[in-house]
């Protein structure tokens, strides 16, 4: 009889141990679940903070890029302007390059701008241009021949720069018919803006890309008549093109 009770007592003890172990395991599981919950909350918070930080960083970058573009609002780049013999041998090459650009291309454009009423009179070189110089570059064509270094021109007044962009197309086209190399006159853009323009041009959804006063404009292949403004140089393409 004592042996039977003793056996029962042993079974109860084992059950007590099993129950205690189970309760302990359940408590550990509850703690783990709570820890996982807290970690999930922390991860979610960090993800939100990361998103906000990225937005703030993009805002700072966009502001800095707009400021830099604003600082270039009086300048243009003249691409493909050959180096003349006089420029190559002169001790004041930049002055010679600027005068050559003014006499051959800028002055005819100013004449057209005056005829259309965009400016009241044709400015002289020293009146229109406050600064000009060749930029250092190692750009080459597909055959490895170096391109003429771009010529940076800074106008003394925004009106002169605007007049150039309003009338350059038809004047340069007429000069092209007369023969000889014709340069390209473009806005002086930031590296970030140029990089975004290249990204847009490489996208198969895009028809055309250009800039107006530093802001990127584009049209879509699916809707070529509607001109769209791209939000900024650091905006992802898929965020703006839907």
Model confidence pLDDT, tens digit, residues 155-181: 999 999 999 999 999 999 999 888 878
Q: Is the pLDDT at 1 greater than 60, yes or no?
A: no
**Helix segments in 74-179, DSSP class H:** 85-89, 93-101, 107-115, 125-128, 158-177
Class of domain 74-187 (CATH, top level): alpha beta
Sorted by where each begins, the domain ranges of the chain are 1-72, 74-187, 191-240
**CB half-sphere exposure, 19, CA atoms < 13 A:** 6
Residue range 75-113, pLDDT digits in tens: 999 999 999 999 999 999 999 999 999 999 999 999 999
Q: Given this model, what pLDDT does residue 5 score?
A: 46
**CB half-sphere exposure, 229, CA atoms < 13 A:** 6
CA 69/CA 103 separation, integer angstroms: 27
Name the average pLDDT for the chain: 89
Residue range 120-158, pLDDT digits in tens: 999 999 999 999 999 988 777 778 787 899 999 999 999
The model's pTM: 0.75
CA 214/CA 161 separation, integer angstroms: 13
Q: Phi, psi (5° rounding) for residue 124?
A: -75, 165
Q: Which DSSP string corresponds to 97-120?
A: HHHHHIIIIIHHHHHHHHHTTSSS
């Amino acid at each position: 009889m004592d042996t039977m009770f003793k056996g029962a007592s042993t079974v109860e003890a084992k059950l007590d141990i099993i129950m205690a172990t189970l309760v302990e395991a359940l408590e550990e599981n509850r703690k783990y679940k709570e820890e996982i919950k807290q970690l999930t909350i922390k991860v979610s918070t960090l993800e939100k903070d990361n998103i906000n930080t990225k937005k703030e960083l993009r805002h700072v970058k966009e502001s800095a890029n707009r400021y830099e573009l604003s600082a270039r609002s009086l300048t243009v780049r003249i691409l493909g302007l050959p180096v003349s013999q006089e420029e190559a041998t002169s001790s004041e090459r930049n002055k010679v390059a600027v005068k050559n650009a003014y006499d051959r291309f800028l002055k005819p454009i100013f004449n057209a701008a005056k005829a259309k009423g965009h400016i009241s009179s044709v400015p002289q070189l020293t009146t229109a241009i406050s600064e000009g110089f060749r930029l250092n570059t190692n750009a080459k064509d597909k055959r490895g021949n170096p391109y003429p270094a771009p010529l940076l021109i800074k106008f003394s007044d925004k009106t002169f720069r605007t007049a150039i962009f309003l009338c350059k197309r038809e004047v340069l086209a007429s000069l092209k018919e007369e023969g000889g190399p014709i340069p390209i006159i473009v806005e002086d853009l930031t590296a970030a803006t140029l990089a975004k323009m290249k990204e847009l041009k490489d996208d198969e959804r895009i028809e055309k890309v250009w800039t107006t006063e530093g802001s990127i404009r584009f049209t879509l292949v699916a809707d070529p008549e509607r001109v769209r403004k791209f939000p900024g140089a650091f905006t992802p393409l898929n965020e703006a093109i839907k």
